[in-house]
Amino acid sequence: MSDWAESNLCDETRMSIVDFHTHVAPPWAQDCREQLVREDSCFAALYANPRAKLATLEDLISSMDEAGVTASVALNLGWTSHEMCARTNDYLLEGAARWPGRILPFVAVQPAHPDAAARELERCAAGGARGIGELRPDIQGFSLADADALRPMVEIAAAHGIPVLTHVSEPVGHVYPGKGTVTPEQPYRFALAFPEATLVCAHWGGGLPFYSLMPEVKRTLAHVYFDSAASHYLYGNNVFRVVADLVGADHVLLGSDFPLIRQRRAIEEVRRAGLAAPATDAILGGNASRVLARGERDNVGE
Ligand SMILES: [Zn+2]
């Protein structure tokens, strides 16, 4: 029996830990890695370096068992072609069926091809998708600020009660592979255009929470959440306390960016952030359960 299963059997009240930001790829993507680097600019941005790790679902499950993670959001990539979105979505949906409740699939769409994206999203929602992402607007060739282009996707997501997760990065600071140019004004404009949509901004939203010192920004971000993916590559550990103070701990989600970052390490970062126990528990899993509750209205702070 795994440590995870044993500890859960021993302590039914043990809180669940949900990692909201992991990436997996099918084994065949590893086999044709060089070809994919040539053919897809998103895959190339992340995996052109042969040392960048690719993980399968089995790798993720064994990491979860080792780190005591109850469930992981398994994100797809922002593939540039519709065909690659669909092929890799199948792998994630199969994983969710094989490990029910542990693998929570977020599927890829290419909004630049709106009809195909809408059909794919309906297919995946019927097949168990729990969200959309990780969108890579800069590489996929659209803007989060383009409300007309995104409206069909947002409407389908709302109809199925599933959140949208997007990559966001900092307009300042050091450059790193895959950083890109989706900076805080894009998710902010998305939130203005779709105030009821549930949006998760990866990597602390590229610093978007810091603007919530402006009251109108804070109001606009009512249904926007921030994951901590790759946090220690970007910020000091006080980012947890600062962002929790600015937008509320109920808007912060544990994200590792596995396999880039070990899940155990990401959990330790939250635990040593010096937050009160209820806030720590919320970030480690309570908030995720609420964001993932299909079709449920977000009533944070109400
Ligand atoms: Zn990202």
273 near 5, Cβ under 8 Å? no
Q: Does 245 score more than 50 pLDDT?
A: yes
User: For residue 9, is pLDDT > 60?
Assistant: no
> 57-67 vs 263-271: helix axis angle to the nearest 10?
40
The Cα 123–Cα 27 span in angstroms is: 23
pLDDT exceeds cutoff 70 at 8: no
Q: Please check the confidence at residue 275 and state whether its pLDDT lies above 60.
A: yes
44-86 per-position pLDDT tens digit:
999 999 999 999 999 999 999 999 999 999 999 999 999 999 9
Amino acid symbol at 98? R
Task: Give the residue carrying structure tokens 């900092």.
Answer: 170
Which residues have beta carbons under 5 A from ligand 1 (an ion)? 167, 202
Please give the mean pLDDT across all residues of the chain.
92
- Note the pLDDT of residue 15: 77
Least confident piece of the model among 5-14, 33-42, 102-111, 167-176: 5-14
pLDDT per position as a tens digit, 159-205: 999 999 999 999 999 999 899 999 999 999 999 999 999 999 999 99
Nearest of 158, 177, 173 to residue 204 by alpha carbon: 173
- Sorted by sequence, the CB contacts under 8 Å of residue 184 that are 6+ apart come out as 168, 171, 205, 206, 207, 208, 211
Domains of the chain: 15-292 (3.20.20.140)
Helix, strand, or coil (residue 17): coil
Distance 7 CA to ligand 1 centre (A): 31
Percent of the chain clearing pLDDT 70 (strictly above): 92
Q: Which residues pair with 131 in a beta bridge?
A: 106
* pLDDT at 142 > cutoff 80: yes
Q: Which residues of 34-56 are buried (b: 16+ CB within 10 A; e: fewer)?
A: eebbeebbbbbbbbbeeeeebbb
CA 191 / ligand 1 centre spacing (Å) = 19
Q: Given phi > 0 = left and psi -120 to 50 = alpha, else beta, which region is 51?
A: alpha
Span from the CA of 69 to the centroid of ligand 1 (angstroms): 20
Predicted TM-score (pTM) of this structure: 0.92
Distance 203 CA to ligand 1 centre (A): 6
Burial of residue 148 (CB within 10 Å: 0-12, 13-18, 19+) is exposed
pLDDT at 188: 98
Distant-in-sequence, close-in-space partners of 254: CB < 8 Å, separation ≥ 6: 17, 18, 19, 20, 227, 228, 266, 267, 270, 283, 284, 285, 288
pLDDT-derived band at 293, boundaries 50, 70, 90? confident
DSSP-derived secondary structure for 59-124 = HHHHHHHHHT-SEEEEE----SSHHHHHHHHHHHHHHHHHSTTTEEEEE---TTSHHHHHHHHHHH
* 294 pLDDT tier (thresholds 50, 70, 90): low
Condensed to tens digits (0 to 9), the pLDDT of residues 205-234 reads: 999 999 999 999 999 999 999 999 999 999
User: How many angstroms is it from 260 CA to the middle of ligand 1?
Assistant: 11
Q: Record the tokens describing residue 261, joined without a space.
A: 């970052």
DSSP string covering 35-58: HHHHH-HHHHHHHSSTTS----HH
How many A from CA of 157 to the centre of ligand 1?
Answer: 20
